[in-house]
Structure 1
Amino acid sequence: MATSAAVLSVRSLTRYGLGAPLLLVMIMAMVVLPLPPLALDAFFTFNISLSLVVLLAAVYAQRPLDFAVFPTVLLMATLLRLALNVASTRVVLLRGHTGSDAAGRVIEAFGQFVVGGSYTVGLVVFVILVIINFVVVTRGAGRVSEVSARFTLDAMPGKQMAIDADLNAGLITQDEARARREEIAREADFYGAMDGASKFVRGDAIAGILILFINILGGVAVGTAQHGLPLGEAFRNYTLLTIGDGLVAQIPSLLLSTAAAIMVTRVSAAQDLGSEVLRQVFSSPRVLGVTAGIVGVLGTIPGMPNLPFLTLAAVAGGAAWWMTRRARAEVVEEAEPEAPPHPREPELTWDDVQPVDPIGLEVGYRLIPLVDRTQGGQLMPRIKGVRKKLTQELGFLVPAVHIRDNLDLSPNAYRITLNGVPVGEAEVHPDRELAINPGQAHGRLQGLATKDPAFGLDAVWIEPAQREHAQTLGYTVVDAATVIATHLSQVLRTHAHELLGFEEVQHLLEVLGRKAPKLVEELVPRTLSMATVLRVLQNLLVEGVPIRDIRTICETLAEHGPRTQDPDALTGAVRVALGRAIVQGIVGGAAELRVATLDPALEQLVQQSLQVAGAGGGAGLEPGLAEQIHRGVSEAAARIEASGQPPVLVVGGAVRAWLSRFLRPSIPGLHVLAYNELPDGKQIRVVATVGQQQIAAG
C-alpha cells in the first residue's frame, strides 16, 4: 500500500509539473535551514541511489538521444549534492565537538569504517578519488563533449542534404524526412547541452576539494576556540567528519561523471552497451588465444605469482577453444545437404516460355546481401519506395522490379533492364559509402574516385568512418543501396513512356470510369481507339508531362477526337489543356518564367520546311540551318540556366513537337513549350531570341 501511494504521488507531481519546482525548493531549504542528522542520512542515501540510477540509465540507453534529459538531470543532481555539502558543513561545524556521529550515521560510517578511522588514510583515499574524477573522467568527458558538439553542428548541413536526396529519390516519405530532421536537431541540442553540462561536473570536483580544506580548517578553529578542545582531538574529530562528508559526496560525483563520460562516448547507432562490449571485445577466439599464451608465459617466469597468471591463461584459452569449436559447428550446420538425384525432366510446354520482365535489376554476387532481407539488406524497401513515389508523380502504377543475381557481371556491378534490354549499368561498393559533390563541396577525400551513376556528378567511395567528415565538407553521403535506388529512379523516370502499355491504360480508364462513366464510354471506343489514347499518353510521358490528371486528358481527347485521329495533334491539344500544370512542374511557384524564342522569320522557315518534308520528319531543313538552330538554342539555354531557372524555349504550336524531338535529346533539361500552353497568370520574360544569323539578347 505504501509503495502504491508513493507511485501515485510521483505520478501526480509529474502530471501537474511540480517535480522540478519541489526539488529546487528542497535544495534551497537544505542551504538555508539547519537539518537534523537523521535527515542528512536520508538525503545522503537518496543522493547515492540517484547517482546509481542515472549511471545505470546511461549504461542501458540504446542511444544517447534515448536519455536526452540527461544534461538537466546532471545539473539537478549536482545542485542537490552541493546543497547537501552546505547542510552537512553547517552540522559538522556546529556539533562536531560532540563526537564522530554528530553529522549522522552515513558520514560516521564513511569516516570510521570505510577508511578505518584514520584521517591520514581518509585524506589519501579522498585525494585519489578527486584525481580520478577531476583529472581522468571529468577532463576526458569534457573534451569528448566539446569535440562531439562541434562535429555534430558541422555535419548538420550534410545530413540535411542527405535527407533531401533520399526524399527526392523516393526512398523516404515526407513524414520520415520530418522525423529525421527533428532527430538531427535533437542530436545537436543534446551534444550542445552535454558540452555545457560537463562544465558543471568539473566545477563540482573543484568545489569538493575546496570544501574539504575549508571544513578542516574551520572545524579545527571552532573546536579549539569555541569548545576548548585540544588541538589534536579537534583535528582528529573534524578531519574524520570532513573526510566522511567528502567521501559521501565524492562517490556520487564520480558515478555521475562516469555516466556523463559514457553518454558522450556512445555512438549514435541503437545498441546495448553491455552486449556490444562483449561482442566487439571478447568475440574473437584469436584474441583470447594470443592473450592466453602471453599470460601463460608470464606465469612461468620465476618469481611471478604463478597461480593467478596460469589460472587466467587457462580460462582465456578454454574460452578461445570453446568459441572456435562453436564456430565450426555452426559452419557444419549451415552446409547445404547433399542434393537428391535429379528426377526425370518433364516435357517442354508453353509454360516454359518466360515473359520478359518490364523492369529488371541484375546484381553481382557481392551485392546479393543488399537485396537479402535475412542479411539486413535495405535495397528491397527502398525500391518499393521508388515505385511508390514514381507512381504518385507519373500517374500510373509502375510495374514491379524483378531482381536476380547474374554471375556474368563483375562482383560489385549491377544492371538495370527494361523489357529485357539493358538501359543502365554501374558498380558500387557495399562496404563503402558514396560521397557525392553537389557542386559546393570543398576539400578532398581519400577513396575511390568515380561518377554518380544517376546524375554523373563527381563522387568518391569512402570508408564509413569518413561519413561525418565528408558531410562537414559539404558532400552528400549515401550508402550503396541508396545509390542503386536513385539510379533506378532516374532510369524509370526517363523511360516512363516505355512502361505504359494497354493494360495500364485500361486500368486508368476503369478507375476514371467509376467517377465519370459517361466520359469513358464516349471516348473509347466511340471516339478514339485504345491505341490512339495510349500513343497520346506516351507522348506526354516522353516530354516529362505526368498523366495524373487523366480526367482532363480524356475530356480533351473526347472534344478533339471527332476532328482528328492524329496522335501528335491530339497531344498538342492535351498539352494546351494541361498548360498550367506543365509550367507549374517546370518553375514551381515562381512568379516569372524566363524563356527563349525563335525569330519569327526563322520559325516560319522551319514551318515551311516541315510542310515540304511531311508531318513526320525534318528532312527538308538544311543541315547548316539545323546546326545553327541547335547552337543558338544551346547558348540561350545556358544563359537561362545561369540565372537559376530551367531552360525553356517557346515556339508556335505547329513546330513545337518537331523542335522538341530535335533539341531535347542533346540539350539536357530543355523544355519546349507552345505559346498557347502558357497560362494567363504567369509573367513571361524573353531573355534570348534565336535568329537565323545570330543570337540576340531579348
Structure 2
Amino acid sequence: MITAVPTLSKNPLQRKAGTMLVVAFLGIFAVLLIPLPTFLMDLLITVNVSISLLILLSTLSANRPLDFSTFPTVILFTALFRLSLNVASTRLILLEGDAGSIIRSFGDFVVGGNYVVGTVVFLILIVIQFAVITKGQNRIAEVAARFTLDAMPGKQMAIDADLNAGIISNEEAKERREDIARESEFYGAMDGAGKFVRGDAVAGLIITAINILGGILIGSIQRGMSVGQAMQTYTVLTVGDGLVSQIPGLIVSIAAGILVTKAASKVDLQEEISEQIAGEERTLFLAGLVLWAIAIVPGFPFVPFSILGTGLILYSRRKKTPGQEGPEVEEEEDEGPQSEEEELEELLRVDRLGIEIGYRLIPIVDPGKHGGLLEHIASMRKQFAASTGMVVPPIRVKDNIQLEPNEYRILLMGQEIGKGELRAGQYLAIDPTGNAPAIEGTDTVEPAFGLPAKWITEGQKEQAEIMGYTVIEAPNVLVTHLTELLKNVSHEVLSREDVQALLDNLKKTAPTIVQDTVPGVLSVSQVQRLLSNLLKEQVPIRNLALILEAASDTFADTKDLGQVTEQVRLRLSRAITEPLVDKDGTLHVATIDPKLEGSIAQALTGAGQPGGGGVLEQGALGRFVETTAEILAELVKQGHPPVLVTRAALRPLLAEAILGAVPGSAVLSYQEISHLKKIDVISQIGLEGAAA
C-alpha cells in the first residue's frame, strides 16, 4: 500500500516564487528589445526604486550577513534590471525626445532644469558610488572572504569540540557546519557581485555620455534644433535618466556595504547602533557641551548648535531620571543556620559524581550566566544519554578552599578520578595539526587528551581561530574532560536505581519484553551487571529492548553473565562497529597471528593446572600486551580508532588485559565484524612481536 507523505504547506507567494523569478528575467530581456510606452517606463522606474529601498531596509533588519544570503544574486538581478531600463529610456529619449514623467521630473525639479547643475550632481553621485562606496565594499568583501576561508578549519574543530562536550546536538552541529559553508560561499559571491555594482556605475557614466552626444546630433541634424536647444533638451533628459538609474544603484551599493561590514549580532543594526552610540549618558552629555561651546564662538550660527546641544544634554539627563537608577535587588531572606541534624546528614552524603573547584573558578559556575559550567554540564548529560543510552546522575559542583585557586577535581563516589587547571575568562587554544604559527599564551596541557595547548585571552581568540587553532572556552574544557572520564567509568556509575528507571521508561513503549524478562528471567541486579559489562567496553545500551531479548534467549542455555554478555554483543554488533568505521565504511584493525592465538588459548586454559601455561609463561602475556598497546597507538597516529580483532573465545579475556593498557580501545571478535564488507588489517601481532 502506498501512502502519501504530508508536506508543509506554503503560502501562495512562496508557491509562485519560482515562476515569478522566471517571468522577471524574461521581462528584463523584453525591456531590452521591445520599445516601451512612457507610462510603462514610469511604472518600471518606480519598481526599480521600490526594489532598492526594500533591499536597503532588509539589510538594516538583518542580524547577520547570512540572514540575507541571496544578496549577491539580488545584486546581479538589480544591475541587469537597471541596465535594461537604461537601454529602454535611451531609446525613448533619442526617438521621441520624451522618456516619461519621472525622468522629466528628475531633470526639471531635482536639478532645476539646468543641465550643467544636473551634470555636476550626476558626476558627484558617480564619484561617491564608484570611488567610495563600491571600492570600499569590494575591499571589505575580499578581506572577509579570505579571513572566512582561513578561519574555517578552526570553526569546524570548535563545533566538533562543542559536540563532543555535549554543548550542542548533532542537528545543531550539522546546522553550524552548513552555516560555515554558506558563510564562505556568501563572502566569495559578494567579492564577485561587487564587480557588477562597479561595472554598473561605469556603464551608467558611459551611457550618459553617449546619450548626450547622440541627442545633440539627432536634435541638430534630424529635428532642426539649434545646438544649444538640442543640448538643453537632451542633456536635461539624459541627466534625469542617469539620476533615476544611479540613485537606486547607490542605495543598493550602500546596502551591500552595510551587509559586509555588519558583524553577527542578536539584534538588528538600528538597535545595535542606537545602543552603542546613544547608550552612554556621559558621551551624550559631553557632546552637548561641545556643541554649546561651538555655538558661543563668534561668527558661528548660534541657533542650530545650541538647539542640538540642548537636545543632547536633556536626552542624557532623561536617561537618569529618578526611579530609573537601575533594577532593585531583592533581598533574600536569611534561612538561618542549618540544624545539627542536617549538617550531619550532609557530611554523610556521598555524591556519585561531583566536581570541586578552586575559588578563582567560582565565576564560571554562575547559574544565571549563559554558557556557564552548569549549562555545559546539562547539555553534556543530554548528549551522553543520547549517545550511550545511560542517564548521567546529577553532578554536584562545589568549591574547595584546599584546592589551588585555578584547580578542579572530578570525583566518583567521593574519590578523585581526574583533575586539571582552568583560567576563568580565558580560552584554551589547541593546535590540531602541529603546524600552526606560534601564538602568545600560557603553556598548559589539555586535560582530556593530554595535548599541548595555551591559555589565551579573549582578545586573542579571533586571531587564534584564523591561524588554525581550535579555541575552547574554559567551562567546555572541564566538561570535555568530564565526558572522557565518564566513558571509562560509566559502568561504575550505573546503579540499580538507574536500571529500574530505564526499565520503567522502556515499559511505556515495549511492555511485553519487560514483563517477560524482568524479574521472570533476569533480576534488576543481573540486568545492571549485564549493562555494566557493556558500558565497560563503551558499548551503547540505547537499544535496551534488543539487549533484554538477547539476554532472555541466552539465559535459557546458560546462567553465566559473561557468556550472556558475549551473545548480547553479537546482537549489537552493528551498533558496536558503527562508531569505529571510517566514512567509507572501512574498519581498520590489528589482528593476532593464529599460532599466537593458539598459544594464548593454551596458556589461559592451562592456567592453574600443574605444568599448565604453555608458551606464554614467564611474563610473555605481559610482553604481548605491551606490543599490542604499541600497535594500537600506531593505529591512533594514523587517524583510526584502536581496534584489535581476535577469536570469540579469547575476546573477553584479552579485552580485560588490553583495556587496562589502552583505555578507549576496542577488542572485537571475528563474529562481531562479519557483517562488514571492508576490513583493513593494518598490522598482525606474531610470536616475536608485530608483523606489519
Shorter-chain TM-score range: 0.7 to 0.9
Following the alignment from structure 1 to structure 2, what is the Cα–Cα distance between the partners of residues 506 and 260? Answer: 60
In the alignment, which residue of structure 2 is the partner of 1:611?
608
Alpha-carbon displacement from aligned partner over 1:245-265 (angstroms, at most 9, x marks no partner): 222222111111111111221
Other-structure match for 1:44: 45
How big is the shift at 1:285? Answer: 3.2
Contact (CA 8 Å) 2:590, 2:683: kept in 1 or not? yes
For the 8 Å contact 2:442–2:456, the answer to whether it is kept is yes
Distance in 1, Cα, partners of 2:430 & 2:386: 27
Contact 1:587 1:593 in 2 (8 A): no
SS of equivalent residue, structure 2 residue 341: coil
Q: Structure 1 residues 71-80 or 317-326, which shifts more?
A: 317-326
Q: Which residue of 1 aligns with 2:83?
A: 82
SS of 1:450 mapped into structure 2 = strand
Q: From 239, 244, 260, give the equivalent of 1:243.
A: 239
The match for 1:265 is 261
SS at match of 1:255: helix
1:542 lines up with 2:525 in the alignment: no
Change (3 A) 1:657 1:311: same
Tell me by how many angstroms 1:138 deviates. Answer: 0.9
Partners of 2:358 and 2:323 in 1: CA distance: 27
Cα distance change of structure 1 residues 74 and 640 upon mapping to structure 2, 3 Å threshold: closer
2:214 is aligned to: 218
Q: Which moved more, 1:434-443 or 1:641-650?
A: 641-650
Classify the secondary structure of the residue corresponding to 2:271. Answer: helix
Q: How does 1:53-202 map to 2 (within 5 A)?
A: 53-96=54-97, 102-202=98-198
Residue 457 (structure 1) aligns with? 451
Shift of 1:130: 1.0
Whether the aligned pair in 2 keeps the contact of 1:552 and 1:577 (CA below 8 Å) is no
C-alpha deviations, 1:603-632, integer Å up to 9, x for none? 47964895279x9xxxx986x757644543
CA deviation after TM superposition for structure 1 residue 202, in Å:
0.8
Question: Does the residue aligned with 2:586 lie in a helix, a strand or coil?
Answer: coil
Q: CA deviation at 1:583?
A: 5.6
Q: 1:495 to 1:326 in 2, by over 3 A?
A: farther
2:551 touches 2:565 (CA, 8 Å); kept in 1? no
Partner of 2:555: 558
Q: Give the conservation status (yes or no) of the 8 Å contact 1:441–1:475.
A: no
Query: Within 5 A, what are the aligned runs for 1:378-527?
Result: 379-380=373-374, 382-404=376-398, 414-429=408-423, 431-439=425-433, 441-462=435-456, 470-508=464-502, 511=506, 514-524=512-522
Could you list the runs of 5+ residues in structure 1 that have no partner in the other structure? 1-9, 97-101
**Which residue in 2 is equivalent to 1:207?**
203
Name the CA shift for 1:422/1:309 in 2 (closer, same or farther; >3 Å).
Answer: farther
| Alpha-carbon spacing, 1:678–1:209, altered in 2? closer, same or farther (3 Å) | closer
Structure-2 residue corresponding to 1:26: 27
- In structure 1, the residue matched to 2:631 is 636
Q: Give the secondary-structure state (helix, strand or coil) at the position aligned to 2:521.
A: helix
* Equivalent position amino acid for 1:72 in 2: T
Task: Indicate the RMSD between aligned Cα atoms, in angstroms.
Answer: 4.1
Confirm whether residue 665 of structure 1 aligns to residue 660 of structure 2.
Answer: yes
**More displaced stretch, 677-686 vs 55-64:** 677-686
Q: What secondary structure sits across from 1:348 in the alignment?
A: helix
The aligned counterpart of 2:350 is 356
The alpha-carbon deviation at position 94 of structure 1 amounts to: 3.0
Amino acid at match of 1:18: T
Contact kept? 1:607, 1:654, Cα under 8 Å:
no
The letter of the residue matching 1:182 is E
CA pair 553-244 structure 1, distance change in 2 beyond 3 A = same
* Contact 1:122 1:240 survives alignment (8 Å): yes
Query: Is the contact between residue 580 and residue 679 of structure 1 (CA under 8 Å) also seen in structure 2?
Result: no
Which of 49-58 and 670-679 deviates more? 670-679
Conservation of the 8 A alpha-carbon contact between 2:353 and 2:411: yes
**Whole-Å Cα distance in 1 between the matches of residues 645 and 143 of structure 2?**
54
Find the residue that maps to 1:34 and give its secondary structure: coil
Mapping for residues 582-601 of structure 1, pairs under 5 Å = 582=576, 586-587=580-581, 589-590=585-586, 593-596=589-592, 599=596
Amino acid at match of 2:107: G
Please list, as runs of the form range in 1=range in 2, the aligned pairs for 1:229-240 lying within 5 A after superposition.
Answer: 229-240=225-236
Aligned in 2, Cα 1:350/1:550: closer, same or farther, shift over 3 Å? farther
CA distance in structure 2 between the aligned counterparts of 1:681 and 1:77, rounded to whole angstroms: 54
Superposed displacement of residue 139, structure 1: 0.9
Moved more, 625-634 or 44-53: 625-634
Would you say the 8 A contact 1:438–1:476 is kept in 2?
A: yes
Closer, same or farther: CA 634–340 of 1 in aligned 2, 3 Å: closer
Structure 1 residues 17 and 666, CA gap change in structure 2 (3 angstroms): closer
Residue type at the aligned position of 2:521:
L
- Rounded to whole Å, the distance in 2 between the matches of 1:343 and 1:539 is 47
User: 2:627 touches 2:689 (CA, 8 Å); kept in 1?
Assistant: yes
> How high is the TM-score relative to the length of structure 1?
0.81
**CA gap 1:392/1:277 in 2 versus in 1, 3 angstroms:** closer
Partner Cα distance (2:676, 2:53) in 1:
68
Cα distance in 1 for partners of 2:323, 2:442 equals 34
Instruction: Flag the 1:448–1:311 CA change in 2: closer, same or farther, 3 A.
Output: farther
Work out the CA distance in 2 between the residues paired with 1:22 and 1:522. Answer: 71
Counterparts of 1:391 and 1:45, CA distance in 2: 58
Contact 2:522 2:552 in 1 (8 A): no
Stretches of structure 2 that go unaligned for 5 or more consecutive residues are 1-10
For residues 16 and 684 of structure 1, the distance between their equivalents in structure 2, rounded to whole angstroms, comes to: 51
Q: CA deviation at 1:55?
A: 1.1
- Tell me by how many angstroms 1:153 deviates: 3.4
Is the 2:683–2:690 contact (alpha carbons within 8 Å) kept by the matching residues of 1?
Answer: no
Structure 1 position 515, deviation (Å): 0.9
Q: Secondary structure of the residue that 1:593 maps to in structure 2?
A: strand
Q: Supply the AA of the counterpart residue of 1:71.
A: P
Query: Offset at 1:222?
Result: 1.8
Give the letter aligned to residue 137 of structure 1: I
Specify whether residues 678 and 145 from structure 1 end up closer, same or farther in structure 2 by C-alpha distance, changes over 3 A only. Answer: closer
Comparing 439-448 with 48-57, greater Cα deviation is found at 439-448
Q: What residue identity is the alignment partner of 2:627? A: G
Matched residue type, 1:443: P
TM-score (norm 2): 0.82
Distance 1:35 1:610 in 2: 100
SS at match of 1:611: coil
**Sequence identity percentage:** 40
Alpha-carbon distance in structure 2 between the residues aligned to 1:557 and 1:13: 57
